Amino acid sequence: MAYWITRFCILVAARVVYRIKVTGLQNIPKNGAFILCSNHIHSFDPAMLAISTKRQLTFMAKKELFQTPMKNKFFRSVGAFPVDRGSADLNSYRSAMSMLKAEKGLLVFSQGTRMQTLDVNTAKGGVALFGVKSKAPIVPVGISGNYKKFSPLYINFGKPITLEKYYGKRLKTEQTEEIMSNIMLEVEKLVK
């Protein structure tokens, strides 16, 4: 419930402040698990993606955001769960897989942090791993704009990518890199 209330409040405010232009909404599955793989240019990106789709999203957020009881409660209530970006965080992996098993949408910023320019070679392998293990389609997303008041903000959802040929297999490093490179090339096409 907190997710939808927060989403509504952000939607109202965002429509006043930004000129959001969304394309490709038909590419988001109407039901079942899915993974949004997006570039990350601003701290508002998760909120803008949440208001751009009618499907509820869950997402990883840096563990530092959960350090006070109030912040911890708020972020968890809107679908976020902590990730330790400095290590291979097994708890965040389990949380992500649990969300996908519950047929929810999982938002992942493949570069792991905000970056003004998209570098396809800096993508982490989590999206590939989640896609293969959960068999959920991966929807590439490109966000562009400067987040200045009354400026256009573009959110473009691409066609879903499935990784069927890897299902049931243990991914090798070069396979993970190939998958992520292909996904990030699709994200790159969607960034205006």
Tens-place pLDDT, residues 21-48: 999 999 999 999 999 999 999 999 999 9
- Residue 168's pLDDT is 87
What amino acid occupies position 28? I
- Is residue 160 a contact partner of residue 33, using CB atoms and an 8 Å limit? no
Assess whether pLDDT exceeds 60 at residue 154.
yes
Residue 51 makes CB contacts below 8 A (sequence gap 6+) with: 7, 10, 11, 14, 20
What amino acid occupies position 118? L
Which segments within 146-183 are labelled E, that is strand?
Answer: 152-157
Rounded mean pLDDT, 3-31: 94
- Is residue 156 a contact partner of residue 53, using CB atoms and an 8 Å limit? no
- Is residue 191 a contact partner of residue 136, using CB atoms and an 8 Å limit? no
- Is residue 47 a contact partner of residue 11, using CB atoms and an 8 Å limit? no
- Residue 29's pLDDT is 96
Q: At 36, is the secondary structure helix, strand, or coil?
A: strand
Q: What is the DSSP string of 41-69?
A: -STTHHHHHHHH-SS-EEEEEEGGGGSSH
